[in-house]
Amino acid sequence: MISIKHLRYFAALAQHRHFGRAADACAISQPALSLQVKDLEALLGAQLVERDRRQIQLTSLGEAFAGRAQQILRSVDELADLARASSPSLGGRLRIGMIPTVAPYLLPAVIRRLTERFPAVDLRPREAVTGKLTEDLITGGLDVAVMALPVSEPSLQDHPLFEEEFVLVRALADRDKPPPGVESLRAMRLLLLEEGHCFRDQALAFCKMTPGLSQDPMEGSSLATLVRMVGAGMGVTLIPEMAVAAETSAVEVSIARLAEPRPARSIGLVWRKTNPLAEHFMQVGEIVRQEHDVLRRQDSDEKSAFASPAT
């Protein structure tokens, strides 16, 4: 008989496309996972996986089976979540994701607050770009995520937490100059996060620049890298307000608010509409919002040094 264990191990293999990585994700040995997959194939009387020494490929049946297995596993997990939802306090496993332009600044404090508020929670934090977080939410690999809104996936529910402006990081020598307008900014060498980051798309949208066709683009994998590139005289960049204190304190750059209408983003909490833990997730979201407010107050001294916007 096909068991939930069979489905979990095969779903992990379908996700990672590698026996070793799938075994690590399931916290079992590779031979044990391989044996379970072979047992599943024997029960079905059909091959699910094409194997060679370098990689694995799913058969056409394997691809279809993986999709159905993920649906079943999500339903099983949500049955367990029904019991958790009846408890007044959140407990058990909580897989929470954050985008990379939020996680370094809020995740440590949020983890501390969550473990204090919900001592029975088994917290599993993850940092990933928007596309990966969305995929993991849909497939059941994550319970909830903190990310930029809106999300376009109809199976997901979102709840706004806070709004945040972007600020301009430029050379220290430019600190007394008025902030550039959008047209002037488009003519500058704008340093961007690499593709896959929603913050990159938001910066390009504000500057009315076509992705892939920006003026002499230069990319970095993190906001810290971009700020240091600015400090080295390689251009200008935009960063969210929450990143200012952490990323600019040790780099010789200047910070300026842009003229109205200033670029901004909405950060919110996202989860599957079918997940019965929505009320508990709202409590998690409130903790995230509160920690953002604390960070904003801590950064008030930094913000007082911003240049006045052009009129």
What is the spatial distance between Cα 120 and Cα 88, in angstroms, rounded to a whole number? 12
Task: State both tokens at 53.
Answer: 């020494």
Instruction: Give residues with Cβ within 8 angstroms of 201, minimum separation 6.
Output: 211
Nearest CA among 62, 73, 14, 9 for reference residue 272? 73
So what's the pLDDT on residue 195?
80
What is the spatial distance between Cα 52 and Cα 164, in angstroms, rounded to a whole number? 49
Domain ranges of the chain: 4-83, 86-162+267-300, 163-264
Whether the Cβ atoms of residue 65 and residue 48 lie closer than 8 Å to each other = yes
Q: What are phi and psi of 234, to 5 degrees?
A: -95, 0
So what's the pLDDT on residue 213?
47
- The domain 4-83 having CATH identifier 1.10.10.10: the answer here is yes
pTM for the whole thing?
A: 0.75
What is the spatial distance between Cα 123 and Cα 93, in angstroms, rounded to a whole number? 6
* Category of 120 on φ-ψ map: left (φ > 0), alpha (ψ -120 to 50) or beta: alpha
Q: What is the architecture of the domain spanning 86-162+267-300?
A: 3-Layer(aba) Sandwich (3.40)
Whether the Cβ atoms of residue 33 and residue 6 lie closer than 8 Å to each other = no
Are the folds of 4-83 and 163-264 the same?
no
So what's the pLDDT on residue 310?
45
DSSP per position, the chain: ---HHHHHHHHHHHHHSSHHHHHHHHTS-HHHHHHHHHHHHHHHTS--EEE-SS-EEE-HHHHHHHHHHHHHHHHHHHHHHHHHHTSSS--EEEEEEE-TTTHHHHHHHHHHHHHHH-TTEEEEEEE--HHHHHHHHHHTS-SEEEEEE----TTEEEEEEEEEEEEEEEEGGGTTSPPP-HHHHHHS-EEEEPTT-HHHHHHHHHTT--TT-SSS-EEESSHHHHHHHHHTTS-EEEEEGGGHHHHHTTS-EEEEPPPSSPPEEEEEEEEETT-TTHHHHHHHHHHHHHHHHHHHHHTHHHHTTSBPPP-
Please identify, in words, the CATH class of the domain defined by 163-264.
alpha beta
CA 197-198-203 angle, 5° bins:
105
Q: What are phi and psi of 112, to 5 degrees?
A: -60, -45
So what's the pLDDT on residue 214?
47
What is the spatial distance between Cα 301 and Cα 307, in angstroms, rounded to a whole number? 13
Mean pLDDT by 10 residues, the chain (311 residues): 92 89 90 93 93 81 91 82 73 93 96 94 94 90 94 94 94 90 83 86 77 61 93 92 92 90 92 91 96 86 50 40
Q: What are phi and psi of 126, to 5 degrees?
A: -150, 135
